[in-house]
Amino acid sequence: MNPRDDIRLAAAPASETDPPAPVVGVHLVLTEADRVLLGLRRNTRYAAGMWHLPAGHMERGEPVTRSMTREAEEELGITIAEDDLLLIHTLHHLDADDGRSRLQLFFRPTRYNGRLRNAEPDKCGELRWWPLDGLPDDTVPYTAHALAGITRGSTLSTVGWAG
């Protein structure tokens, strides 16, 4: 047996010299012509009463692609194969509310199965298609920022950082 085959990595407690661990968010960008699907958030800790892309957070033990397909299943009732996701934008977001660094990943599916529906009516008041050049004023600000970047063809942006 190769000694490297038996290496076990134990999680060490974080120290002040460890690199920061950002929160990773996943967002689904579904478009039809020049319109994008947004949901009106309700009964949520973050951005209740605002429009946002179908989204969620990466959970421990899952890759970001599975996080995105899981969220699509939970929120929209559709299935997407992980290989059918295209990463179209990355946003490094410094959250002014809690000071946490967040990587927001925006995916576009090349295809999906199922009929789009509001599968979480307790968290989403409604789903609606909005023109990309006419998003509602009450869109989550970093979502509007990312969609503007995507429309321009930008694959990377930052928001909330000084400078």
pLDDT digits (tens, 9 = 90+) for 54-73: 999 999 999 999 999 999 99
Residue 74: predicted pLDDT: 97
Residue 13: predicted pLDDT: 53
Write the CB contacts of 101 (distance below 8 Å, at least 6 apart in sequence): 20, 22, 23, 92, 93, 94, 95
Average of pLDDT values for 25-53?
Answer: 95
| Confidence (pTM) | 0.87
Domain ranges of the chain: 21-159
Residue 9: predicted pLDDT: 41
> Is residue 140 pLDDT above 90, yes or no?
yes
Average of pLDDT values for 134-146?
Answer: 97
Average of pLDDT values for 16-44?
Answer: 91
Q: Which CATH superfamily is domain 21-159 in?
A: Nucleoside Triphosphate Pyrophosphohydrolase (3.90.79.10)
Q: Look at residues 112, 115, 126 and name the one whose alpha carbon lies nearest to residue 37.
A: 126
Strand, coil or helix: what is 105? strand
Q: Look at residues 51, 26, 75, 69 and name the one whose alpha carbon lies nearest to residue 129.
A: 51
Residue 14: predicted pLDDT: 53
Residue 8: predicted pLDDT: 43
> Is residue 12 pLDDT above 60, yes or no?
no
The percent of residues above 90 in pLDDT, for the chain, comes to: 77
Residue 4: predicted pLDDT: 43
Chain-wide mean pLDDT for the chain? 90
Q: Look at residues 91, 101, 93 and name the one whose alpha carbon lies nearest to residue 157.
A: 91
> What pairing do the DSSP bridges indicate for beta strands 101-109 and 23-28?
parallel
pLDDT-derived band at 53, boundaries 50, 70, 90: very high
Residue 45: predicted pLDDT: 85
